[in-house]
Amino acid sequence: MKDLEKKALEYHSRGGVPGKVSVVPTKPCLTAEDLALAYTPGVAEPVVKIQANPSDAYRYTAKGNLVAVISNGTAILGLGDRGALASKPVMEGKGVLFKRFADIDVFDIEIDEKDPARLVDIIASLSPTFGGINLEDIKGPECFCIERELIKRCSIPVFHDDQHGTAIIATAGLMNAAELTGRSLSGMHVVVNGAGAAGISCARMFVNAGVRKENILLLDSRGVVYSGRPNLTPEKAWFAVETDKRTLAEAVDGADVFMGLSVAGCLKPEMLRTMASDPIVFAMANPDPEITYEEATAARSDVIMATGRSDYPNQINNVLGFPFIFRGALDVRASRITENMKMAAAKALAELAKEPVPEVVSRAYGGRSFSFGRDYIVPKPFDPRVIEYEAVAVAQAAVEDGVAASPVTDWEAYRKSLSERMAKYWA
């Protein structure tokens, strides 16, 4: 771990250029004429055009390929509230992933504000700059109302990745795990341990995918969310069920699925042994899961195991979601990201995992080979086909839902353009 810490700090500071992102001009500025066109007096012309027709901003500025990655640092990936400034390395990291996997430009914006209403006002006031807004590392339950209010107030896609990113990738994995074990989603009994932003959103998306709400047991730090339990937030209350189960051990007994978005080590091997045949375990606590891969596979030889880690099979990694979802949304100028668009992303990922895996993926992972099965239920981020499957599916769903201001008319041409656009990143 000390070696990783040293490498991470060196990575972020090396080369005499601190951090991971920079701004690069897309037009030449080498002559006096270039300068006059790039700034005054040339900028006056697009200003007048945009004032007369706001949609011209997509023609004359970077708005259409620019996403704001915004945080107040109140829930930094497993580290908690470390403040807005401390969230900057994470937000820069998101910028790297947006660019590397979907050729989307990013401004990371760290806002020193914890009051939800004021935060909404600040972000909404910034929205004219961008084609989309990615909210990140904002704690629950405030994150729910912040995203909800911004969706109402902004005419561009607003997406809280901590909620929906994990949910989309996990849903893709759940679909494929169900198929591999001969289950139907409607017949599954699912335990979701962790009722924060990601846990609530995973549970909701599982329901949208076909899991019956009454078959889900949601747990928070106080145990099972049951009907009549006092002081439940509206988000938790929606999952309250009639049950006499109160603890995690009681909840997982006989369950088909454990979805963990909680704390390390809480799922004990003896608990796993009480689950149904071919148990499906998504242990997503970061960096240390609710049960280790070694513990889980030792306790149950029939387990399908996924984590958030890259060093074990079936990594449920948000990078499989947000770059490609925004790519599709931006390309059709979607006004928002709908539930149908999220589900389209999940289904596209589930479908791609069943396809033969190209050699470029094997090379990215040290020569390892992959094929659809218990140790491969979602694609790898370094599969160059992800953008073609997912961005196209998202864009199509946006058009179907009537939220696309610039619908694609030739889907094969669009798919080809994505492959050509990203070729430089795979060379």
Q: In angstroms, what CA-CA distances link 29 with 24, 32, 142, 165, 383?
A: 12, 8, 44, 39, 36
Please identify which of the residues 11, 39, 60, 365 carries the catalytic annotation. 39
Alpha helix segments (H runs only) across 273-400: 293-299, 322-331, 339-352, 359-364, 386-400
Look up residue 21 and give its two tokens.
């992102």
Give catalytic status of residue 39 as yes or no.
Answer: yes
Are 216 and 206 in contact, with CB atoms under 8 Å apart?
yes
Are 363 and 383 in contact, with CB atoms under 8 Å apart?
no
Name the residue among 219, 329, 374, 198 with its Cα closest to residue 229: 219
Counting DSSP H helices and E strands in the chain, the numbers are 18, 10
Tell me which residue has tokens 């004990």.
Answer: 268
Give catalytic status of residue 226 as yes or no.
Answer: no
Q: What are the φ/ψ torsions at residue 82 (nearest 5 degrees)?
A: -115, 5
Tell me which residue has tokens 């799922």.
Answer: 267
What is the number of other CB atoms lying within 10 angstroms of the CB of residue 74?
Answer: 20
Catalytic residue positions? Answer: 39, 94
